[in-house]
Amino acid sequence: MPKNLISLFVYCILDTISETLSIHTEGEDGKLNEIKTINFKIR
């Protein structure tokens, strides 16, 4: 993880329907900024 993201709040959204995990941080304006989205499989 880049140093500028350390000590920020991280919000993870796990969507079991589309099988995606989205990772966000909260910006200065209070909006969520997406860092990364990955796909996963439910077994």
The per-residue pLDDT for range 8-20, each reduced to its tens digit, is 678 999 999 999 9
Range of the domain at 28: 3-39
What average pLDDT does the segment 9-37 reach?
A: 91
Given pLDDT bands bounded at 50, 70 and 90, which one contains residue 34? very high
Domain count, the chain: 1
pTM above 0.75, yes or no: no
What average pLDDT does the segment 24-33 reach?
A: 86
| 3 state SS of 5 | helix
CA atoms of 7 and 28, how far apart (whole Å): 14
